[in-house]
Amino acid sequence: MAKKIILGVTASIAIYKACDLIGRLKDNNIASTVVMTRESEELIRPIVFQSLSGNKVYRGLFDLPEAWEIEHVALARQADLVLIAPATANIIAKISAGICDDLLTCIVSATKAPVLIAPAMNEGMYKNKITQENIRKLKSFGYKFIEPRKARLACGLTGVGCLAEVEEIVKQVKNNF
């Protein structure tokens, strides 16, 4: 039986790598259900993730479910793991503060599954003291992180903040079941 993960995607330019990630997860018998933040929809359409995953893409906290269920609780329960890749400074801060104002943050709050976070952002944002404190706090609660790598960033500079390589993310997912 395939492992099931919730793949949370946020509004980082690295979102396109989530497309490759879905295929690599499938190759490893890991099914992904994508949960998009509203901001991520500005960068990629949900139909892309639905086509690649073969599953419904979940978006809004108050979208009407196809069947009666409390979606964030049902999704949180079915997950063997929650992976957020790419994870912006915004989503990390919201989770760290316990803010549950969208479907993804509510799922993270409700799940008993391991949560794995792969940051992707500008080096200044990643190294910001507040972001680093949020990461430390989440690690102290048992959340795991896949460290970003140093490479050319969307702003044109080279620095730490690039999403980890897809192969590394898949390896970490497999290690966290």
pLDDT over 90 at 157, yes or no = no
In sequence order, the 6+-apart residues with CB closer than 8 A to the CB of 147 are 119, 164
DSSP calls for 102-153: SHHHHHHHH--S-EEEEE---HHHHH-HHHHHHHHHHHHTT-EE---EEEE-
Average pLDDT over residues 49-56: 95
pLDDT over 60 at 22, yes or no = yes
Instruction: Report the C-alpha gap between 163 and 73 in whole angstroms.
Output: 28
Instruction: Report the C-alpha gap between 59 and 30 in whole angstroms.
Output: 21
Strands 3-9 and 30-36: parallel
55-99 residue pLDDT tens: 999 997 766 555 545 666 778 888 999 999 999 999 999 999 999
Average pLDDT over residues 41-56: 95
pLDDT for 68? 46
| Nearest residue to 74 via CA among 50, 109, 102, 110 | 110
Q: Which domains does the chain have, with CATH numbers?
A: 3-175 (3.40.50.1950)
Break the chain down into helix, strand, coil percent, rounded to 5.
Answer: 45, 20, 35
In sequence order, the 6+-apart residues with CB closer than 8 A to the CB of 110 are 72, 73, 76, 77
pLDDT for 89? 98
pTM: 0.93
Place of tokens 């933040």: 37
pLDDT for 125? 95
Q: Which of 68-77, 100-109, 136-145, 164-173 comes out lowest in average pLDDT?
A: 68-77
**118: pLDDT confidence band, cut at 50, 70 and 90?**
very high
pLDDT for 65? 57
Determine what percent of the chain is predicted with pLDDT higher than 90: 82
136-156 residue pLDDT tens: 999 999 999 999 999 888 778
Report how far apart, in Å, the C-alpha atoms of 127 and of each of 118, 122, 157, 161, 162 are: 15, 9, 15, 9, 12
Provide the CB-side half-sphere exposure for 60 (13 A, CA).
4
What is the residue-averaged pLDDT of the chain? 92
Instruction: Report the C-alpha gap between 66 and 17 in whole angstroms.
Output: 29
Of the candidates 100, 106, 155, 162, the residue annotated as catalytic is: 155
pLDDT for 2? 85
pLDDT for 23? 96
- Annotated active-site residue 155? The verdict is yes
